[in-house]
Structure 1
């Protein structure tokens, strides 16, 4: 529902009906005064207001004119219904937010320091794309340092680092703790392998090669969160050399 439209139309109607009621009050006080006719616009606006009022509270806008009712009494009742609907429309978004189930939130400064520390100053400057790129580049350097691999990086390095195959000379592997004979351990290795590659392909490369991305604050924060997950996995894992690999 377009609450802003409802607020605007109800305010227009209330202003119009308020002016008409003022004229009725003047006519009632002055015996010789000419009784005002309905402004044509008031009739049009009343029809619109009724629909809006009933949209917020079905039946509230169905104000019926009683045969013996004073003209002003009818319009006062119509105005009251419109005012009630205006209150509902004005606070609809706040009420919906209040009634929404409590959900967890991501604290940016609780992301892995390899991610948030390089991103923080750029994020503060509203440079979200640069913040994500800085975090990805720092994470890549951390991965290279941990594996002592500077010949490759990012996607290729993730594919090699988490590969379940034994390490080779000069090509260390990252290994999660746990029983390597289990399907769960192998699933973690394979998952991290493709997740890491995907993070660099789909996030880092876009941030680096697109002149300007249309990421919202939420989009950029979620990208940083993905990088943070990868950073925690890299830190958790042990860098394993060919000589330290267990015999299969």
Structure 2
């Protein structure tokens, strides 16, 4: 519904009917004076005002002249209905927002500390791109430190780290807790592998190589939330290394 249109039309009508009632009031004070005729525009705008009033509150604009009712009383009732409709139209968006169910929010300082701590000072400076990049770089360093691997980039590291194949010499794996014989466990490992690689490719690389991205605060916060999920998984997983007697590379 176009509330701005409704407000404009109702204000025009109220100004017109107010002017007419003012003339009626002046005539009533002049004994013997005739009441002014309805302006044609008043009748035209009344039809529009009725429809708008009914759109906001069905039946509000359905005002009929009572038997024996004079013109002034009738138009006062019409004006009251239009004023009520104007109040509804003027506050419709605010009321809708107030009545909207409360939605959950993401508290930035509740994100994983590997993500929020490096991002926080840059976020405070409104450097959202740099905040996301700092978080991604710190997360990569944490992953490298946990595995003791600094020989490959973060995308390949995620692909190898969560891979379902057994660990090899110099190539440890991260493993979620749980029964490794189930399809759910295998799906989680595979999902983390591609999730981690995708996060670094689609978020870290963009933040690092684009001169300036047009991320809104919400965009940047959601990117940090993605990195936070990955950070929790990395911290939660245990390291599985190849047996010291394993000669396979």
Same fold (TM over 0.5): yes
Where does residue 151 of structure 1 map in the other structure? Answer: 151
Aligned partner of 1:109 in structure 2 is 109
Count of matched residue positions in the alignment of Structure 1 and Structure 2: 246
Q: Larger deviation: 212-221 or 173-182?
A: 212-221
Residue 192 (structure 2) aligns with:
192
Alpha carbon RMSD of aligned pairs, Å? 2.6
Question: Which shifted more, 190-199 or 124-133?
Answer: 124-133
Match of 1:217 in 2: 217
* Aligned residue number for residue 69 of structure 2: 69
Report SS of the residue matched to 2:91.
Answer: helix
1:6 aligns with 2:6: yes
* Partner Cα distance (2:171, 2:148) in 1: 8
Label 1:152 to 1:20 Cα distance change in 2 as closer, same or farther (>3 A). Answer: farther
Q: Which residue of 2 aligns with 1:170?
A: 170
Cα-to-partner distance string for 1:123-165 (whole Å, 9 max, x where unaligned): 3333333322222222122212222222223322111111111
Instruction: Give me the TM-score of the superposition, normalised by structure 2.
Output: 0.85
Structure 1: gaps spanning 5 or more residues: none
Q: Aligned pair in 2 of structure 1 residues 16, 201: CA closer, same or farther (>3 Å)?
A: farther
TM-score (norm 1): 0.85
Cα 1:124/1:8, change in 2 over 3 Å: farther
In the TM superposition, residue 78 of structure 1 has moved relative to its aligned partner by: 1.3
1:49 CA drift (Å)? 2.0
Q: Which residue of 2 aligns with 1:226?
A: 226
Assess if the C-alpha contact under 8 Å between 1:14 and 1:82 holds in 2. Answer: yes
Secondary structure in 2 matching 1:239: strand
